[in-house]
Amino acid sequence: MQELKEMIVKKGIVLDENVLKVDSFLTHQIDALLMEKIGKRFAKLYQNAGITKVVTIEASGIAPAVFAGLALNVPVIFARKQKSLTMNTELLTASVYSFTKQVTNDISISTKFLTSDDCVLVIDDFLANGQAALGLIELCRQAGSDVAGIGIVIEKSFQNGRQLIEDKGYRVDSLARVKSLKDNKVEFVSEEE
């Protein structure tokens, strides 16, 4: 998605060879217009997949997921990283190691929001080593829901997340694929690669 790539080049900050900071439009301050376009793009990619729910993880997955849900006209569920006192119903849970925070969180979704009748589009802001996406897939598996695919805003293709997810037989769609963050520069995978 050209507009997203241009925004990454203009406003993304390369923290080191592995981490890209995009807090001015995606992970802290949110560019709602860009998110709307991102949501529409995901909706187009999955328009014939029979999606009934969009599932993401708090916090940075919520913005693109909400716009995808809006465009697909389906509910959006975000997995919580901490149990809330009000979450007194049955929970689906999985352990996820966080790439950026370097801690393991138990993520959870209430069983009442995901069932075996659902067909899910999983959305997240970044794909690095795939742990967040695999945790969300695990929650869907526990609910008996189908997973139509994983929609990612920014994939770092030099990390092994895509491989791990595709090896399990899932479809992955990323709107921007970063090939390298070396020398303080963002290099994208070309469309042909």
- Does position 161 bind ligand 5GP by CB under 6 A? yes
The runs of H, that is alpha helices, within 46-186 are 62-72, 131-143, 161-167
Taking CA atoms, 17 is separated from 14, 116, 140, 158, 183, in Å, by: 7, 41, 32, 10, 8
Question: In this chain, which of 1, 19, 70, 189 binds ligand 5GP, going by CB under 6 A?
Answer: 19
Nearer Cβ to ligand 5GP (80/112): 80
- Does position 43 bind ligand 5GP by CB under 6 A? no
User: How far apart are alpha carbons 12 and 28 in whole angstroms?
Assistant: 12
- Does position 137 bind ligand 5GP by CB under 6 A? no
Q: At a CB cut-off of 8 Å and minimum separation 6, what does 73 contact?
A: none
- Binding site members for xanthine: 20, 27, 156
Choose among 129, 115, 123, 176: nearest CA to 148: 123
- Does position 122 bind ligand 5GP by CB under 6 A? no
String of contacts with ligand 5GP for each residue 45-84, x by CB under 6 A: ---------------x------------------------
Task: Give the binding site for ligand 5GP (CB under 6 A).
Answer: 19-22, 27, 60, 98-100, 124-132, 161
